[in-house]
Amino acid sequence: MAAINPDDQGLRLAVRYAVLCLVAVIFVFPLLFMVMSSLKPSAQLLLDTKSIRAFLPVGDISLDNYRAAFDRAPIGVFVLNSVLITGVTVLLTIFVCSLAGFAFVFLDWKGRGVIFSILLATLIIPYETIFIPLLLMASQLPWISTEGLEIGWLNSYRVQVVPFIADGLSIFLFVQFFRDLPRELIEASRVEGASWWAIYRRIVMPLSGPVIATAAILKFLFMYNQYLWPLMVVQDESIRPVMVGLGYFTDQLNVPWGEVMAYLTVITVPVLAFYLSLQKVFISSVASTGVKG
């Protein structure tokens, strides 16, 4: 075999980078277009789609669209709601699912094998197939508040949080991770008289950073991006999350595209920034859903 000459290798490398860049353009440019469009008046926005200007911050650049969008809809309230709903759910998920995972791995109790298989089997149920009966259930569930017993969960924060705290995937992720922890560590503390709760809190959880990050990121993406469920159960604008808030812009006869792009940018760019700063963790989280059980 003839030796590869260095120029040839350089060329090959250049071609590889060219292909990588071309593909990157496909994934990045629509998002770039969104951000750039949010800075332009609607008339210019349409004209700019004719050329490369669509992806550049040129022409009549201003934050007018943002001002108009914030005037049209209580965007601050929507963002706050989404942050609140997502944050509380993520925290509760971590707590409830790690606790369950702990019990499944370290404790020996009657029924745990059967129950674990049942919980695992729910992974095959898409949420979309249970939302309709869940809607009826939610309309009739009781809730105890300071004013006594009330019936019906519709139009509340709790209906957006409670159903999503525990799920099969989160529990499964914790179980997977806990199985690889050294058992001797737990047994030794047990012999020394530590309670299960103390072992969970002082030994297991402090070691579980990676799986907590994974479960939190997956739940964060799921909750922040929820659309169908809040669409059905929330009417009050004061508790509406960001995705449903989009209706303010799209239900118009003439969609104000400049403002839409501004709103999309407001609700997307923080997530993208968060992702880009932690991209290794994000990507390994998704990859870990692919670990077969």
Partner 1 sequence: MATRIDQSNKAGWLMAGPGIFLMTAFIIVPFFLAFAFSLTNQRLASPNATEYVGFDNYRGLLGVAVFTLEPERDDAGEVVIDDDGEISYPRLRNFTRNNPDYPNLAGKREWFSWQWGDDRIVILAADVVFMKALINTFTFVFVVAPVQAAVALGLALLINQKMRGISIFRALYFMPVVVSIVVVSLLWRFIYAPGDGLLNNLLGFFSFGAFDPRDWLGNPNTALGSIMAMSIWQGVGFHMVIWLSGLQTISPTLYEAASIEGANKRQQFRYVTWPGLRNTAVLILIVITMQAFALFAQIDVMTNGGPLDSTQVLVFQAVERGYGKQDISGGSTISVLLFVIVLSISLIQRYLTREKN
Segment 56 to 95, residues that bind partner 1, using CB under 8 A: none
Which of residues 157 and 196 has its CB atom nearest to partner 1 in the complex?
196
**Which structure tokens are listed for 70?**
């914030």
> Of 159-178, which residues contact partner 1 (CB under 8 A)?
162-168, 171
* 192 counts as binding partner 1 under rule CB under 8 A: no
Kindly report the number of other CB atoms within 10 A of residue 251's CB atom: 8
Does the footprint of partner 1 cover residue 44 (CB under 8 A)?
A: no
Q: How far is the CB of 227 from partner 1 (least distance, A)?
A: 5
Choose, by CB under 8 A, the member of 6, 133, 142, 206 that binds partner 1. Answer: 133
Residue/partner pairs of 179-187 with CB below 8 Å, 24 or more apart: 179/105, 181/207, 183/106, 186/106
For 166, other C-beta atoms within 10 Å of its C-beta total 16
Binding-residue pattern over the window 237 to 276 for partner 1, x denoting contact by CB under 8 A: ------x--x---x------x--xx--x--xx--xx--xx
**Closest among 79, 67, 74 to 262, alpha carbons compared:** 67
- Residue 59 is given by DSSP the state S
Length of the chain: 293
Tell me if 42 sits within 8 A of 257, measured CB to CB. Answer: yes
Nearer to partner 1, 179 or 227 (CB): 227
Q: Which of residues 98-117 bind partner 1 (CB under 8 A)?
A: 99-100, 102-104, 107-110, 112, 115
Residue 155 within binding range of partner 1, rule CB under 8 A: no
